[in-house]
C-alpha cells in the first residue's frame, strides 16, 4: 500500500472524527479496513465494533453496521446486554476491532470485569488490527488525557499498555486538551507520548510508530515530552490518505 514492510501487529490510534449516528465514516476508518484486508488477506474483512465506552448505545451500533456494510463483514460485542459467551474466540474470529469513543475509565473497568482486556491482548498477538478513536485510541497506551472523571481534562493511567507512554486525542478539537496534556506530562502525571488531531491517526506495529495518516490536509500529530522548562512538542510527518 505504501511501499513499507507489511505490518505484523497493527494498531491505529485516531484522534477523533469519523462516523457517528449523524456523520459519515472518514478515510482514517477506511484505512483501518484496508489494513485489515492487507494484513489478514480477506477481501471483505471481518470487523467488530466494541462500543463499551458509549454504554453499547444502539444508535452508534446501528450506524457502525450501516457505514461499513459496503467494505466489511460487521459485528459488534455488547457487554451491557451480553450475548457472547466466549469473548476470546469471538474476537479472534475477526480481522479488525474498532473501539468507539466515550468514557475511557468506565470502558476499561467493564472490559476487565468481562476479560476483554486479555482477549484483546491475544488478538494483538495474532495480528488482528486494533483501532479506535478517542477512548478507543487512549486504551492501547499506558495512559492519556481524559474527561472520564468530569468536564476537566485529567490524567488516565489505566490503559492496556500495548504501546508505551501516553496519548492525547482531540488535540485540535477540544481547547482544553493541549494545555492539559502539556501540564500533565510536565509534572509527571503522564509519561511522554503522542498527541493526535481529529481526522488524523498514528499507525503502530506493536509498540513502534510507523506513520501518521490523515483524512485530509491539515490534521497532524505531535511527540510531546517533558523538558527542563516544561515540555517539547515536535510535529510528526503526516501522509494524507488518498
Of 134, 148, 166, 168, which one is the catalytic site residue? 134
166 part of the active site: no
Catalytic one of 31, 76, 124, 170 = 170
148: annotated active-site residue: no
Cα dihedral sign for 72, 73, 74, 75?
negative
> In terms of C-beta density within 10 A (0-12 exposed, 13-18 middle, 19 or more buried), how is residue 34 classed?
middle
**Residue 20 burial by CB count (10 A; 0-12/13-18/19+): exposed, middle or buried?**
middle
Q: Tell me which residues are annotated as active site.
A: 134, 170
Amino acid at each position: 500500500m505504501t511501499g513499507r514492510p507489511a505490518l505484523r501487529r497493527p494498531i491505529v490510534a485516531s484522534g477523533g472524527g469519523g462516523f457517528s449516528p449523524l456523520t459519515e465514516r472518514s478515510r482514517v476508518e477506511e484505512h483501518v479496513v484496508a489494513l485489515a484486508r492487507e494484513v489478514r488477506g480477506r477481501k471483505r474483512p471481518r470487523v467488530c465494533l466494541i462500543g463499551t465506552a458509549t454504554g453499547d448505545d444502539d444508535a452508534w451500533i446501528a450506524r457502525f453496521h450501516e457505514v461499513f456494510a459496503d467494505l466489511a463483514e460487521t459485528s459488534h460485542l455488547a457487554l451491557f446486554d451480553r450475548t457472547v459467551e466466549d469473548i476470546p474466540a469471538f474476537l479472534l474470529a475477526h480481522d479488525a476491532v474498532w473501539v468507539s469513543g466515550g468514557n475511557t475509565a468506565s470502558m476499561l473497568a467493564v472490559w476487565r470485569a468481562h476479560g476483554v482486556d486479555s482477549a484483546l491482548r491475544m488478538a494483538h498477538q495474532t495480528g488482528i488490527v486494533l483501532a479506535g478513536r478517542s477512548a478507543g485510541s487512549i486504551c492501547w497506551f499506558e495512559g492519556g488525557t481524559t474527561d472520564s472523571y468530569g468536564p476537566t481534562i485529567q490524567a488516565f493511567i489505566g490503559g492496556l499498555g500495548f504501546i508505551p507512554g501516553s496519548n492525547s486525542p482531540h488535540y485540535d478539537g477540544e481547547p482544553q486538551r493541549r494545555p492539559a496534556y502539556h501540564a500533565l506530562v510536565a509534572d509527571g502525571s503522564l509519561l511522554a507520548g503522542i498527541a493526535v488531531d481529529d481526522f488524523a491517526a498514528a499507525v503502530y506495529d506493536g509498540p513502534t510508530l510507523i506513520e501518521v495518516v490523515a483524512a485530509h490536509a491539515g490534521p497532524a500529530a505531535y511527540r510531546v515530552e517533558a523538558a527542563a522548562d516544561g515540555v517539547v512538542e515536535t510535529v510528526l510527518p503526516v501522509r494524507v490518505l488518498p
